[in-house]
Amino acid sequence: MRTVRNALLAAVTAAVLPMSGLGTQVVIIAAEVKNGLVELVQKASHGRSGDFREPGVLIRSAPDTGSAARGVGNPGDDVSIRQATSGESVRCPDGSANSEWFDITNRRTRVSGFVSGCFL
């Protein structure tokens, strides 16, 4: 008797959930949760992010002004910062000196390299 009751209950539930829209809501909520978790993982794997403070910032192959330029960054490009490192001291536009450089990837151009902390 219990088996028949459980089978009937399962059949009614399977028929009612899709008609009531509850089944659809559960699927939508599960998809939203999954998408939110994927976004959090992507942000965590990319570390910090930022942007260039002025146009024409050189992205260099090493943390010093004598190294080769790999590309250029501009405000609005958005950068993914992998890590901070010490390098050549650079005179910033505001007159201060900064020896902190960032190992970055320009998200718009996909160019990776080093940028002085003055410009991020």
pLDDT, residue 19, reads: 54
Query: pLDDT value at position 12?
Result: 55
pLDDT tops 70 at residue 53: yes
Q: Residue 47 — very low, low, confident or very high, per pLDDT cuts 50/70/90?
A: low
Q: What is the pLDDT of residues 65-109, one digit of tens each?
A: 999 999 999 999 999 999 999 999 999 999 999 999 999 999 999
What average pLDDT does the structure give for the chain?
Answer: 80
Question: How high is the pLDDT of residue 41?
Answer: 46
User: What is the separation of C-alpha 117 from the centre of its chain, rounded to a whole number of angstroms?
Assistant: 20
